[in-house]
Chains A and B, each alone.
Chain A
């Protein structure tokens, strides 16, 4: 059965990491769900680039963080946070597209 990220993760969030980056955290309550998502390779740099319509080089970091049962990735901003034209000063509403990522069982 195919599950969605929103059903498996405890927390899915995004936030500024300094003035030039937005970082995304997907946290799982237990090792089981974390390992399921990690081993499924449903979330990779390639898939993130496609989902957000960005070049892969814009993804500065991608980390699987075992101690926190978490997957974390970071995008470079096109302009520093808070420049004129800003849409999300704190980078705090960039995560919802991750909800529907499908994780094959």
Chain B
């Protein structure tokens, strides 16, 4: 094959609904694949830890329906990575059920559905550690321990291209994959068709966030990538958006520590010597990428574990004298909680988010001396049970009202309570695992299923 085209309608399927017009515009150009990733670790550890989706199923179904109908009409494969926000087995099962329901609803002619489970059991990892396998921490994290695994609820590895290539080999028309590297779901069909790895991974890298690679800023619009042996062309599909040399070069930096290297399972892409050329108003051509294989095949693991149950409440302060002494007010309220519950630590946590002062940046806030005319305080308590969190949160909020300041004029309450009510937050989770695991072969943790569906 000389060239191949891929349409990318969204950087996170289901997160907010796809804008359909630019997708249909791209479909008219008859791409060879329709591809989107549906997961991200940006949504925090709660969805993976609690094994739930972060986006409403209605939006997930909307996006899957739009993509499925067009890809089946064109009779080209559709690939969805990181099913249902986390790529856990729950997400794969949920999306498979939606695809089956849509096939029936629209009476789609028979097609092959392939799906790939990727969730890894805690026992498999415990066994590896017992056998002496080192599971390397990313960044400054220490290597994985059995104790960390015990504190984790669910773990997913990010698959590389191999499980997707294998599922395409089985003849899949639609693939629902567990947790995947977003660039790999695009690179897999290109590599399978014989395009070089460097070109294929670069194409995946540039397409994975859809219209974020174009300008002006728009989300959820489609972009199209076309690959040749050593070039990638990327085109914006929205009438008012363009891929420009600046937008594509700057996208290389987006959400990554390093603009030159992109690591995937099995190797890394070097973009140091990429060159960018504007070929028409909406299209940029990129060349000059190189791919290096890792000597040992490793996948990234993500894991989240429960920390406690959460309660939240909201208060406001308007008195300028009280605002000026807000640190003393908070100290008073915190002290009152500590008197009854002991020092803050493993047993419980208490956070004061002071909007108007440093609610967004905390200790990193450089504006330390500004006195706003009002501030909002969100009190967040975390404890072993919601009942305890609720009591701690109530105590920590009501005492904002009773704070003792020597010269306060308002002696009937130092805070305005929006309500005398505590809200239940989602349970608190933490990213416990962000590690690299060596695999014996790229298929080791991935389990492919095939079914024929439709009528």
Give the B-binding residues of A (Cβ under 8 A): 10-11, 15-21, 23, 25, 27, 29, 51-54, 60-61, 63, 65, 67-70, 72, 74, 76, 79-90, 93-94, 97
Tell me the nearest residue of chain B to A85, going by C-beta: B351
Residue B235, interface by CB 8 Å: no
Q: Give B33-83 interface residues, CB cut-off 8 Å to A.
A: 41-46
Q: B123-151: contact bitstring with A at CB < 8 Å (1 yes, 0 no)?
A: 00000000000000011110000000000
Chain B 361-390 interface 0/1 with A at a Cβ cutoff of 8 Å (1 = within)? 111111100000000000010100000000
Contacting pair A54 B41 (CB below 8 A): no
6 contacts between A and B (CB under 8 A): A67-B276, A68-B253, A81-B44, A84-B428, A89-B42, A97-B365
| B256 contacts A70, C-beta separation under 8 Å | no
Task: Tell me the smallest distance from the CB of A67 to a CB of chain B, in Å.
Answer: 5
16 extra A-B contacts, CB within 8 A, seeds A17-B256, A67-B274: A20-B139, A23-B256, A23-B257, A60-B257, A65-B253, A70-B253, A72-B259, A74-B257, A81-B44, A82-B46, A82-B429, A84-B351, A84-B380, A87-B361, A90-B42, A94-B364
Given contact pairs A15-B254, A18-B41, A20-B139, A80 touches B428 in the complex (Cβ within 8 A): no
Report how many residues on chain B are interfacial, defined by Cβ distance under 8 Å.
48
Query: A21 contacts which chain B residues (CB < 8 A)?
Result: 139, 257
Q: What is B's interface to A at a CB cutoff of 8 Å?
A: 41-46, 138-141, 246, 249-250, 252-260, 274-276, 302, 307-308, 310, 349, 351, 353, 359-367, 380, 382, 428-431, 434
Q: Which 5 A-B pairs have the closest CB atoms?
A: A82-B44, A80-B431, A84-B428, A68-B249, A85-B351
Residues in chain A near residue B360, CB distance under 8 A: 87-88, 93-94
Chain B's nearest CB lies how many Å from the CB of A59?
Answer: 11
* Distance in angstroms between the alpha carbons of A79 and B139 in the assembled complex: 13
CB contacts (< 8 Å) of B310 on chain A: these are 84
Question: Nearest A residue to B259 by beta-carbon distance?
Answer: A65
Contact A87 B362 (CB under 8 A): yes
